[in-house]
Structure 1
Amino acid sequence: MDAAKILIVEDETIVALDIKRRLVKLGYDVAAVVATGEEAIEKVEETPVDLILMDISLPGDIDGIEAAKRIQGRFDIPVVYLTAHSDKATLERAIVTEPFGYIVKPFDKKTLYAAIEMAIYKQRMKVKIKEKDENFRNLAENTRDGILIATVDGSHVYANQRATEITGYSASQLLKICLGEFVDLDDNGRVSENWLDETFVHKRSEKTIRRENGAITLEMTATKTIWQGQPALLVLFGDISQIKRAEEERDRLLAYMEQARKMEALGTLAGGIAHDFNNILSIILGFTELAMLEIPGESTAYPKLERVIYACLRASDVVKQIMTFSHLAGGDLKPVRISPLIKETLRLMRITIPSTVEIREYIALESDVALADLAQINQVFINLCNNAVDAMREKGGVLEVTLEEVEIEEGAGMSIPGLEPGHFIKLTVADTGHGMGPQLMKRIFEPYFTTKDVGEGTGMGLAVAHGIVGVHGGTITVQSEPGKGAAFNVYLPKSEIEVSPDIIAAELTPTGHERILFVDDEEDVIDLVKQMLEYLGYQVVAKSSSLEALELFKADPEQFDMVIADMVMPNMTGTELVKEILKIRPDISIIILTGYLERISEEEVDAIGIDAVLRKPVVMDKLAQTVRKVLNGV
């Protein structure tokens, strides 16, 4: 290591030379010897030195203390004062310059050596500390996390720039916000000293704070440290608001997916039952219609058979609800206005609901057109209103219905599980009833789940509503708290297609004489549809096997004008059958029968070349109209 360079500032020549001689013997490099403060300042400007031995009493306008003050204002050079005697005022002036030591004249070699080495060591430590401090600040000011350091007595508080950017608070404000999470603060907001006695190694906490532009969530980690030579607390924190929102969104989506899986499983079961039930209904309804054709209208049996048909149609509606719940029956979707339906239904409901329930409606839309089955949406609305009224039956309250247009934007804060970005018609049915807690809200859309007494509810109302809305490409959500009522929100995709006025025209039951190949694996259904078609004048060949029907058609493709096939059959499905038939004769008319379970999209219908789809149970008038329109090419 190179010898330290020392500047001697001493006005007494003999003393100065003696000090120089001693320093050389001790191995130091004497840079220069000067006698005044002015000379000392000039020499430092010319020659770098490691230490200055400065006599306090110097001739001229600048004494040793003033010279040291000016030098330290520009250069980081340690000063050791030389003094024979000084009064109290002089010493107080000297202390302000933060000298690295004092040597009292006269002094021996050991005293001189010790003072110089101590000063050089302190300077080296000071430089190292400064470098570490600069490194720390560079790191602290460029990190993504907020950093807060506070000493026990609160006299030293440091907060990096990121801390104030994240929170919008100053260091002193952050002291109370952050430190209070980990240690006790006194009335002055300072850290209580007793925290040192606690087992405190590492602590973590989350805290939500409010800013002008909203609340944020901080994740904070605290450890003990030393700051400015005193025990202190180091707190690192970051804004995890986006992470928390993402976690909440993930939890909502997982809950939605779990609910969807449960509904799908139950729906598959319900769909299978409904498929078989539709075949049974077709037979009852169809043969009843045929029986009514064979008896006079004045017969006493005629009104009884009408009641059978009415009951079958009601049963068919129940099946439709089951199929809607199973997400397998989309209904007849077309552009319809929602507000007239809501207003008319509310008008009728005012007659039936208790007088203790007040209805308030807020419907003001320029465009309220959705692609929907109006009957199914009406069912949803009625189910939600009935649910709301039941919640207020004992104490009364307010039923509030709101219809509005909302936009779900990509990446926007408004995120609804199950919805893609776009424009939606939002129907809200809110009540001021007893409300419900989180656990109950998780189950309200489950089929057969109800909080009502036995005989007062089936538990299917909300499940059916949920299924209908899902089939329409929308979703339904609920907000509620115990004692604060509930609000159900239905989101339906908005349609840009204009609503066409319905044209109602009375039509006679059409007949014909064309040749029809009918295929179904149910013998009773074959017998029914064959009799219906023959009653309408058509020539019918019926087969219970799709393979046999295909062979028959191949033998003479020109013998038939139309093929009607059930969609689900063993060995070869109805769609597979008609695909093969259309390969042989592309111009033949095709109708597919379905029991709702086997959904077929319009795209698939067009791609295959199917002319029409008839849903079971089969009603004679609907069968007659459809067959005639297809054969006529309408």
Structure 2
Amino acid sequence: MGDVMSSEKKFWTWLLVISFSFIILLITFLLFIIFPFHIEQMKTRSRETVSHLQFVLPKLNSADRQQYLERMSKVAQDLSYLLLMDRQGNALAHSNPERVGMNFDEAGLRKCLATGETIEQIYIRDADKPSSPYHGEKTIDILSPYYSSAGRIEGAVNVGLSLAAIERAKMHYISVSAAGTILWLIFISVFAASHIRTMRQKLATDNALIESEAKYRFLVENSSDITYKLDIEGIITFIGPQIRRYGFEPEEVQGQSVEIFIYQADVEQVKEILRKSIKSEISTVALFRITDKMNKIFWLETSGSVIKGEDGRLMGFSGTLRDVTQRLQAEKELSDTKALLMTAIDQFPAGILVADAPDCRIRHCNSELLSLRGNTTDELLNIPFPLHSERWQFYNTDGTPADPARLPLTRAILQGEKVSNAELTIMRSGKEKRILLTNAAPVRNSEGMIIAGIAMFTDITDVKRMEEQLRQSQKMEVMGQLISGIAHDFNNMLGGILGSAEILALKLRGNPDLKSYIDMIQKGAISAAELTKNLLAYARKGKISSTAIDIHESLREAIALLGRTIDKRIEIRLVLKATDALITGDPALLVNAFLNLGLNARDAMPTGGILTFATTNINIDESYCQSHPNMNPGLFIEVNVSDTGTGMTTDICEKIFEPFFTTKEFGRGTGLGLAAVQGTVQEHGGSINVYSEPGKGSTFRILFPAERNTGAASAAIEEDLVRGTGCILLIDDEILIRNIVHSQLTELGYDVLLAENGEQGIEIFRREQEKISLVMIDLIMPKISGQETMKRLLAIDPGVKILLQSGFNYSEGMDELIKTGAAFIQKPFPISTLGRIIGQIIKGL
């Protein structure tokens, strides 16, 4: 700075010495050289101020912008005003704070915003406001657009250079010239003062620019994004220190082509983006990959625009880089998860309805529910809950229109209820009444807030009709055949549901929020499987699981459940005297049987009483077994379930185990409870009898064969997946089962070949038998049955390993098939069971 001032002093000293000799030349110099130069300097400073404000102001908040303009106005005295406007011409900041918020929309501004060019024009201030102190003031307006971080034009910076100041300078120089030699010294002093003032203004502007650059440097170095600049050849001229995250130093990258870290496959794409951006001079947003020094791939998002010089010539390209790797990965995982869930919902054999909280607007329904609704021109989605019943034609079971506020889905969202097994009716196509079993639950986020609700509608119309028909039937065999068929269909559907849920659970181990929904689906499917098992127990068509269990534990579990449900006035007593309490059977069916007996006893004691469960060991001889063909002589466990209730007559005792017989009022009992108990007992090789008199209570005497060969209950099945390798041929006519089992086998590590019927499976086996390790066959298929398919495969290769599967339980008719070496698995089966059984067959695990 000292050198500059000294140089200026010498200049003016020499100017004074030689000025007397060149007075005429000096006058000419003043009027035609110095004066135009002075004016151009004022314009240049104004342009520099515009460029400076264009770069700095958008990065400041509103308060800092206003203060900054006021300070600039004080040091830039040649300028009439400084102004920052938005796209509508509203003043966001003004060197005169009283004019902030005024609108300055005019043709020059619109042209500037439309073309993105800097506009210079003559402007008459407040021409339509005679009372304004600035009325009629002429200025040279310089307008230039400013851009957002995304490269969009957000408004304009405006600097007004006063023409009055220019005119005053002109008159000043004319006066000085006219004064001639006499006033020359005065002119020199004035000009010197003017020049000094100009230098001071430039110094202030330079200092402000240095301060602005310091702030910009701070922002660049402390931002998570990477700032960069390229020349028009794609050479990096500047890059932020954040590039170190990828193993590069800024110094080694600067001066290199952008190809230095761009993923090879994306190089041409990036070059093309740069070429188009530079050619079209528009802002660019793009995605591409880079590799760090360890060759790890990252996704970056760039946002930038071209750089122009003061002469409008293209200088290069500048912008920012943002690492979006984790965002893209999360978006992909979310998209995949959503696709899986939506596929599961759309393929689900029951109707599904999903609504948002808190307004209960329906967001999604699956094709099954649309099929239940039938043809309609009504809008069914995005409707408020008061219209749910009207649009979806929901009615109560008594035929009255359902109250929208009491619909299961509405209750789940607004009240947070989990509604189970609520019955509704729906009018299909406005004329066919269908009965729906409805389950609904709220969907909560990680904070426990309800964000949606989901309802499942199962069409039970046909089931209801079958129940009505079965009420008239007295033949257990007919009921058994019917229920077995239903169980097969249920097990097939449940296999798809449970398998889908397990695959989703495995893929969503890192997402506990979504996994909770999968757990609910699994629990529902398992509960449905237990229901199927109970149905088979009613008909005595199922085969119990061969598990050594302590019957005392089953009694304790049943009593624990009863203690939470029955009247507290009923005292429950447990008397365990049996020393050999182990039997072979199904613990779930036994607990269910004891629960049924306990609930019947509860109904017989409406005012309270005593309910007793007692056990003892007895030996059964041949004479007793002759009247009970399913029993063999030996040691038995006797279970007595007694109550002090109302008792029963002899006629009722004779009919008590008949299916559909009930003494309860209509709607409170199905008449299947004790029939199921009898079926369970007989499936366990035992017998049941009842002893009762009116007013003296009832006692149910149950005998189970004791198990002496096992010292403890069998261990729980290991839940860890047993994986393996090899090729498995899956033959099943159900596409849902094929898809789900295919996913399970793939998860377990096996290659899978699929066939939709026996003929196709045999043909595939002929071609690929060398690499096939195991064949899975569904027993119930059209065209060629599973048994016939198995026989033909054994004819081709007697050593082929076969695993039979069915929605029906294992039955004695399958014994001949099993003797050939085949194994059997009951649908639905979890992936852990499937893996264990296949491991036993293929590897002998």
**Equivalent residues, number:** 374
User: Aligned residue for 2:678?
Assistant: 466
In structure 2, distance between residues paired with 1:339 and 1:265? 35
In structure 2, distance between residues paired with 1:424 and 1:562? 42
Residues 506, 343 of structure 1: alpha-carbon distance in 2 compared, 3 angstrom cutoff: closer
Residues 348, 531 of structure 1: alpha-carbon distance in 2 compared, 3 angstrom cutoff: closer
* Kept in 2: contact 1:272–1:597 (CA 8 A): no
In structure 1, distance between residues paired with 2:808 and 2:785? 15
Residues 559, 287 of structure 1: alpha-carbon distance in 2 compared, 3 angstrom cutoff: same
User: Aligned residue for 1:264?
Assistant: 477
Counterpart check, 1:282 vs 2:495: yes
SS at match of 2:655: coil
Counterpart check, 1:487 vs 2:699: yes
1:360-371 matches, within 5 Å, as: 360-371=573-584
User: Aligned residue for 2:824?
Assistant: 613
Counterpart check, 1:424 vs 2:643: no
* Kept in 1: contact 2:577–2:617 (CA 8 A): no
Task: List per-residue Cα deviations over 1:260-290 (Å, max 9, x = no partner).
Answer: 9822221111111111111111122222333
1:495-574 matches, within 5 Å, as: 495-503=707-715, 508-574=720-786
Counterpart check, 1:322 vs 2:506: no
Task: List per-residue Cα deviations over 1:123-162 (Å, max 9, x = no partner).
Answer: xxxxxxxxxxxxxxxxxxxxxxxxxxxxxxxxxxxxxxxx
Please tell me the residue identity of whatever aligns with 1:429: V
Residues 281, 504 of structure 1: alpha-carbon distance in 2 compared, 3 angstrom cutoff: closer
| Percent pairwise identity | 33
Q: TM-score, normalised by structure 1?
A: 0.54
* Kept in 1: contact 2:720–2:832 (CA 8 A): no
Please tell me the residue identity of whatever aligns with 1:285: L
Candidates 268, 286, 310, aligned match of 2:523: 310
1:225-236 matches, within 5 Å, as: none
* Kept in 2: contact 1:267–1:323 (CA 8 A): yes
* Kept in 2: contact 1:517–1:563 (CA 8 A): yes
User: Aligned residue for 1:401?
Assistant: 613
In structure 1, distance between residues paired with 2:718 and 2:710? 25
* Kept in 1: contact 2:787–2:817 (CA 8 A): no
User: Aligned residue for 1:588?
Assistant: 800
* Kept in 2: contact 1:264–1:327 (CA 8 A): no
Residues 608, 532 of structure 1: alpha-carbon distance in 2 compared, 3 angstrom cutoff: same
* Kept in 1: contact 2:758–2:785 (CA 8 A): yes
Task: List per-residue Cα deviations over 1:74-109 (Å, max 9, x = no partner).
Answer: xxxxxxxxxxxxxxxxxxxxxxxxxxxxxxxxxxxx
* Kept in 1: contact 2:579–2:616 (CA 8 A): no
Q: TM-score, normalised by structure 2?
A: 0.41
Residues 334, 605 of structure 1: alpha-carbon distance in 2 compared, 3 angstrom cutoff: farther
Tell me how far 1:295 sits from its aligned partner.
4.5
User: Aligned residue for 1:359?
Assistant: 572
Residues 600, 570 of structure 1: alpha-carbon distance in 2 compared, 3 angstrom cutoff: farther
User: Aligned residue for 1:336?
Assistant: 549
User: Aligned residue for 1:625?
Assistant: 836
Residues 506, 442 of structure 1: alpha-carbon distance in 2 compared, 3 angstrom cutoff: closer
SS at match of 2:844: coil
* Kept in 2: contact 1:562–1:588 (CA 8 A): yes
Tell me how far 1:420 sits from its aligned partner.
4.7
* Kept in 1: contact 2:550–2:713 (CA 8 A): no
Residues 500, 261 of structure 1: alpha-carbon distance in 2 compared, 3 angstrom cutoff: farther
In structure 2, distance between residues paired with 1:585 and 1:500? 41
SS at match of 1:442: helix
CA RMSD of aligned residues (A): 2.9
User: Aligned residue for 2:603?
Assistant: 390
Please tell me the residue identity of whatever aligns with 2:486: I
In structure 2, distance between residues paired with 1:605 and 1:400? 45
Please tell me the residue identity of whatever aligns with 1:513: T
In structure 1, distance between residues paired with 2:710 and 2:501? 40
SS at match of 2:475: helix
User: Aligned residue for 2:91?
Assistant: none
Please tell me the residue identity of whatever aligns with 1:526: R
* Kept in 1: contact 2:549–2:713 (CA 8 A): no
* Kept in 2: contact 1:408–1:415 (CA 8 A): no
In structure 2, distance between residues paired with 1:482 and 1:500? 42
Residues 622, 339 of structure 1: alpha-carbon distance in 2 compared, 3 angstrom cutoff: same
Residues 531, 607 of structure 1: alpha-carbon distance in 2 compared, 3 angstrom cutoff: same
Task: List per-residue Cα deviations over 1:215-259 (Å, max 9, x = no partner).
Answer: xxxxxxxxxxxxxxxxxxxxxxxxxxxxxxxxxxxxxxxxxxxxx
Moved more, 407-416 or 427-436: 407-416
* Kept in 1: contact 2:644–2:696 (CA 8 A): yes
Please tell me the residue identity of whatever aligns with 2:588: A
Candidates 338, 342, 346, aligned match of 2:559: 346
Residues 352, 556 of structure 1: alpha-carbon distance in 2 compared, 3 angstrom cutoff: closer
Tell me how far 1:417 sits from its aligned partner.
7.2
Residues 288, 374 of structure 1: alpha-carbon distance in 2 compared, 3 angstrom cutoff: closer
Tell me how far 1:318 sits from its aligned partner.
0.5
Tell me how far 1:510 sits from its aligned partner.
2.9
Task: List per-residue Cα deviations over 1:481-531 (Å, max 9, x = no partner).
Answer: 222211111122233322345445855323333100101121221122112
User: Aligned residue for 1:176?
Assistant: none
Tell me how far 1:348 sits from its aligned partner.
5.5
Moved more, 515-524 or 615-624: 615-624
In structure 2, distance between residues paired with 1:323 and 1:412? 27
Residues 347, 325 of structure 1: alpha-carbon distance in 2 compared, 3 angstrom cutoff: closer
Task: Name structure 2 gaps, 5 residues minimum.
Answer: 1-472
In structure 2, distance between residues paired with 1:413 and 1:601? 25
In structure 1, distance between residues paired with 2:718 and 2:626? 48
In structure 2, distance between residues paired with 1:309 and 1:413? 43
Please tell me the residue identity of whatever aligns with 1:435: G
Tell me how far 1:453 sits from its aligned partner.
3.9
SS at match of 1:596: coil
SS at match of 1:325: helix
Please tell me the residue identity of whatever aligns with 2:657: F
In structure 2, distance between residues paired with 1:541 and 1:371? 38
Residues 604, 405 of structure 1: alpha-carbon distance in 2 compared, 3 angstrom cutoff: farther
User: Aligned residue for 1:57?
Assistant: none
* Kept in 2: contact 1:568–1:598 (CA 8 A): no
User: Aligned residue for 2:79?
Assistant: none
In structure 1, distance between residues paired with 2:626 and 2:786? 45
Please tell me the residue identity of whatever aligns with 2:788: E
